[in-house]
């Protein structure tokens, strides 16, 4: 499907790369409403060039988001065959938080349903998480009443929480990931007052 009709010209490919990098940085610093003009300037490129490569600002965002989600999914896939299922889940969450900390990717979630491709990629990653959770549950590493959806939702909480600390040290998220993960352990085990949601809707 969608076989690449033509290879990209050398300068175009180079510009595309700097554009993606600049956009990721700019979005990370300024949030979802970083301006296209600033992104272009940061990439050392005219504003028109941005729109040649990405029809819309949202398309640019989608390209970045898909890239990140795919990277996360790959990590998850690999961890599916790790020996300790509980440690694997924790490591996945650590990787996710770490990725979001390098460049604050809170916008990754804010960017809801930008395109069908984003939705699709995200669904793929959700599946992987579901499997990780199931495995951890079977091994008794996490309580039986939490689902993949729960973990997906809680996944970004550490970064969110830390984002309200003025000059936060870069690894502070580890503290809150630890607390939340402790809440997922069987030892915690107080009954949950509400059923888990279905993220497919």
Partner DNA sequence: CAATAACCGGACCGGGCGGTCAACTTTGCT
Partner DNA sequence: AGCAAAGTTGACCGCCCGGTCCGGTTATTG
11 near DNA, rule: CB under 7 A: yes
The CB-of-29 to DNA minimum distance in angstroms stands at: 13
Question: Does residue 115 bind a copy of itself (CB under 8 A)?
Answer: no
**Binders of a copy of itself among 172-201, rule CB under 8 A?**
172, 174-176, 178-185, 187-190, 192-197, 199, 201
- Is 92 a binding residue for a copy of itself by CB under 8 A? The answer is no
Q: Which of 60, 68, 58 is nearest to 19 (CA)?
A: 60
Among residues 18 and 109, whose Cβ is nearest to a copy of itself? 109
Question: Is residue 35 involved in binding DNA (CB under 7 A)?
Answer: yes
Q: Which residues bind a copy of itself (CB under 8 A)?
A: 109, 146, 150, 153-154, 156-157, 160-162, 164-169, 171-172, 174-176, 178-185, 187-190, 192-197, 199, 201
């Amino acid at each position: 499907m969608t076989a690449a009709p033509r290879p990209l010209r050398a300068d175009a490919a180079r510009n595309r790369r700097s554009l993606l990098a600049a956009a990721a940085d700019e979005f990370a610093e300024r949030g979802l409403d970083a301006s296209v003009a600033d992104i272009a300037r940061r990439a050392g490129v005219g504003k028109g060039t941005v729109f040649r490569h990405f029809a819309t600002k949202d398309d640019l965002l989608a390209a970045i988001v898909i890239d990140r989600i795919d990277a996360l999914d790959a990590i998850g896939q690999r961890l599916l065959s790790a020996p300790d299922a509980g440690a694997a889940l924790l490591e996945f969450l650590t990787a996710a938080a770490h990725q979001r900390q390098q460049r604050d990717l809170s916008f990754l979630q804010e960017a809801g349903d930008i395109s069908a491709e984003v939705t699709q990629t995200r669904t793929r990653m959700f599946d992987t998480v579901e499997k990780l959770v199931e495995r951890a549950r079977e091994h008794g590493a996490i309580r039986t009443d939490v689902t993949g959806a729960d973990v997906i939702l809680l996944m970004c909480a550490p970064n969110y929480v830390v984002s309200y600390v003025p000059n936060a040290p870069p690894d502070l998220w580890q503290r809150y990931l630890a607390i939340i993960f402790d809440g997922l352990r069987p030892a915690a085990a107080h009954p949950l007052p509400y059923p888990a949601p279905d993220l497919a809707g």
